[in-house]
Amino acid sequence: MRGWGLPLVSAAFVLILAEATQRAGLLPSVVPAPSLVLLQAWDNPALVSNNCLATLGTATAGYVVAMTVTFAASALAAMLYRLYGAVYNLGLTLHAIPVIAATPLLAILIGGGPPLRVLIAALSCQFPMLVGMMQGMRAADSRQRELMHVLAASRADTWRYLLLPAALPFVFAGLKIAAPSAILGAITAEWAGADRGVGAVMLNALFSFDVAKVWLSVLLTCILSAGTYGIWALAESHLLRWKISAENFP
């Protein structure tokens, strides 16, 4: 909890400052007081919960798809080094395509609906995972690799007992960065015509000039992004205690 103290205090300070500034009339009308935004959430709990769950479900599905594909591609590239450049360049090319531009094109190709939103979420978060996993697969020391060779370990055993444990710190770094990207990708995909989701709420509020609801959707986006990042950070702190202990060993 000590690591979360400063961010929470900073966020509370910014909210209090924004409230006071708005009440003093120093902010434009397009920036509502935080109390109005929170009142929107208080008055419409079903709006918040239903749409957050819809976005979170889409982002989670895309996240799992991206994790599965990038993990398999990274493992293959680690065992067959000739494929390393091809796999990395493919991931980089996909990452370089703007999601906001790819969404309408993919909607034409595969149609709208959940498959499109899951695909966009997966494309949005695949590259940080890929980089973390591929860099991690190369993190093992050359002497350790030589030892596995001396022990006549198969490629599968080398990957299981050496490459994967050495890669875990890099993998978790990629997973943490990718989690907010999946949320943002899901919200972007919801702009293409979803009935539910934080992106749909944001788009409807923009067209109806509901400023407080627009900022509520922005707040929900931040909460979902920070929350998913925090889940992986918490998992890392528990699952990689051996790494922390080794770093603190004199």
Give the tens place of pLDDT for each residue, 87-118.
999 999 999 989 888 888 888 888 778 899 99
List the domain boundaries for the chain: 54-244
Mean pLDDT taken over the chain: 86
- Give the span between the Cα atoms of 34 and 16, in whole angstroms: 8
List Cβ neighbours of 122 (8 Å cut-off, separation of 6 or more).
Answer: 62, 63, 65, 66, 69, 182, 185
Mean pLDDT of 147-164: 78
Give the tens place of pLDDT for each residue, 187-224.
999 988 788 999 999 999 989 888 989 999 999 999 99
159 or 25, which is more confident? 25
For the chain, the residue count is 250
Mean pLDDT of 66-93: 88
Percent of the chain with pLDDT over 70: 94
Q: H helices within 80-163, ranges in order?
A: 84-96, 99-110, 114-137, 142-150, 155-158
- Overall CATH class of domain 54-244: mainly alpha
Confidence tier at 246 by pLDDT (50, 70, 90): very low
Confidence tier at 250 by pLDDT (50, 70, 90): very low
pTM, to two decimals: 0.85
